[in-house]
Amino acid sequence: MSAVKDAIARAVDTLGDDLERLSRQIHDTPELGYQEVKAAGWLCEFLTAQGFKVERGIAGVETAFRATIETGGGPTVAILCEYDALPAIGHACGHNAIATAGAGAGAALAAVRRELPQGRVLVIGTPAEEGGGGKVKLIKGGVFREVDAAMMVHGWDRWIGHQDLLGIVRVGFEFTGRAAHASADPWEGVNALDAVIQTFNNVSMLRQQVRPDARIHGIVTNGGAAPNIIPEHASALFYVRAPRLEEMWALHKRVVACAEGAARATGTTLKVVDHTDTAYEPMKKNAPLLEAFRANLTRLGIAESPEITDRLASSDVGNVSQVIPTIQPLMKIAPDGTPIHSRAFEAAAVAPLAREGTLAAAKVMAMTTLDLLADAALLDRCKRAFKATT
């Protein structure tokens, strides 16, 4: 397989300029979750040109896609792409690089398809990671039912094989009061914004009693119409995270109680808007698959940093990891210390360092996919580790 891996690396290098253009196209045209029409289209066009059979709108999700190359009966390995942007700060999560690395890995495998063992390679476009739960919908739609293993990478400021991911559930609170003139007749009003503020105060006090690896954070989504009107409507959205699902749901219940208490205290009525259908699950670690990825990282001469425990995030790839063996290593596309979801990270996502990291990640994922297709024992170890991990 060594010669095939060398050919994979050469194929990625040959496509380097095309991949950089693709990454910049996506980066410079940021689209929010489930609105990634252009990004999905560019990726599908690129993969079609590499010889993939491309299906758009899979599982009823317009901006999702599945690109396939088959070399005969054998295992099915999926490489995942994300390409949605963040509100206001665009690709400050580097999803343009994630998508390009996945497409580049697929393209490299297509370039050596005559040398591939029998099996099937999928490049799956998964929209709306930033809160919309695109992968959750694809799981429910059966997209991963026949997949043996999956992988993707995520942009970071270091190369890291594994990062634990927190489970996350989103919950909105809509308070209704009664409008009145804020100066002439304030006693006639019932202030819905007071209920929102009290909810934040209650949550702030709750934080003292939660475990250090849990996270609660929120924003005000409606604070009223004008300062001289007692707000009759106000609302907030909170994210509740924890490393284990049972802890996440218990904390969710306590956050809802914070809002209920605020409604009682202010005399407002409360509507709880739950998003439990797109809750994100923690990442299930798969050591054999990580070992294979790390071996290919070493093959390219890339040094990995130690695993991190203090920078905790969430992703719907965690849900995929709960149904099939899955990994999401972190690729270095930004200078050390660059915070993710920042303006600096958004700028770094199309800098020369991002090109270097993206092409390297494409090579490593393609090589690791080759390992899974060629080595039945490796795939068996991945599956046994998946079943053994709680």
DSSP string, 215-262: EEEEEEEE--S-TTB--SEEEEEEEEEESSHHHHHHHHHHHHHHHHHH
Distance between CA atoms of 158 and 162, rounded to whole angstroms? Answer: 11
Distance between CA atoms of 148 and 140, rounded to whole angstroms? Answer: 17
* pLDDT score of 182 more than 90: yes
Q: Which residue has the tokens 């495998």?
A: 109
* pLDDT score of 165 more than 80: yes
* pLDDT score of 152 more than 70: yes
Interior angle at CA 137, CA 134 and CA 139, nearest 5? 110
Pair (222, 108) in one structural domain: no
Helix, coil or strand: residue 181? strand
Pair (11, 135) in one structural domain: yes
Mind listing the pLDDT tens digit for each residue in 34-74? 999 999 999 999 999 999 999 999 999 999 999 999 998 99
Distance between CA atoms of 330 and 153, rounded to whole angstroms? Answer: 6
* pLDDT score of 306 more than 90: no
What CATH number corresponds to the domain at position 247? 3.30.70.360
Pair (173, 272) in one structural domain: yes
* pLDDT score of 78 more than 70: yes
Show which of 257, 278, 299 is a domain's final residue: 278
Pair (24, 148) in one structural domain: yes
Pair (271, 295) in one structural domain: no
Pair (201, 159) in one structural domain: no
Mind listing the pLDDT tens digit for each residue in 194-221? 999 999 999 999 999 999 999 999 999 9
Weakest-pLDDT range from 81-85, 161-165, 196-200, 352-356: 161-165
State the first-to-last Cα distance of the chain, in angstroms, to the nearest integer. 33
- Non-local CB neighbours of 260 within 8 Å, separated by 6+ positions: 270
Interior angle at CA 157, CA 155 and CA 163, nearest 5? 65
Please tell me the predicted confidence (pLDDT) of residue 201: 98
Q: Are 36 and 84 in contact (CB under 8 A)?
A: yes
Mind listing the pLDDT tens digit for each residue in 312-350? 888 999 999 999 999 999 999 999 999 999 999 999 999
Q: What are phi and psi of 229, to 5 degrees?
A: -125, 125
Mind listing the pLDDT tens digit for each residue in 246-266? 999 999 999 999 999 999 999
Please tell me the predicted confidence (pLDDT) of residue 390: 67
* pLDDT score of 307 more than 80: no
Weakest-pLDDT range from 94-98, 136-140, 357-361, 386-390: 386-390
Weakest-pLDDT range from 11-20, 138-147, 162-171: 162-171
Q: Are 194 and 202 in contact (CB under 8 A)?
A: no
Could you tell me the two tokens for 300?
A: 């390219």
User: Average pLDDT, stretch 91-112?
Assistant: 97
For residue 22, give its domain range. 2-164+281-388
- Non-local CB neighbours of 317 within 8 Å, separated by 6+ positions: 80, 129, 135, 152, 165, 283, 326, 328
Distance between CA atoms of 324 and 307, rounded to whole angstroms? Answer: 22
Pair (197, 319) in one structural domain: no
Please tell me the predicted confidence (pLDDT) of residue 69: 97
3-state secondary structure 364-390: HHHHHHHHHHHCHHHHHHHHHHHHHCC
What CATH number corresponds to the domain at position 148? 3.40.630.10
Pair (159, 212) in one structural domain: no
Pair (317, 379) in one structural domain: yes
Pair (291, 256) in one structural domain: no
User: Average pLDDT, stretch 281-310?
Assistant: 92
Mind listing the pLDDT tens digit for each residue in 118-134? 999 999 999 999 988 99
Residue 94: DSSP 8-state? -
Mind listing the pLDDT tens digit for each residue in 187-200? 999 999 999 999 99
Length of the chain: 390
Distance between CA atoms of 47 and 54, rounded to whole angstroms? Answer: 7
Please tell me the predicted confidence (pLDDT) of residue 325: 98
Show which of 216, 246, 278 is a domain's final residue: 278
| Closest of 323, 344, 310, 13 to residue 160, by C-alpha | 310
Show which of 253, 278, 303 is a domain's final residue: 278
Q: What pTM was estimated for this model as a whole?
A: 0.88
Count up the domains in the chain and report the number.
2
Residue 142: DSSP 8-state? T
Please tell me the predicted confidence (pLDDT) of residue 131: 83
Pair (157, 254) in one structural domain: no
Pair (199, 236) in one structural domain: yes
Distance between CA atoms of 109 and 294, rounded to whole angstroms? Answer: 19
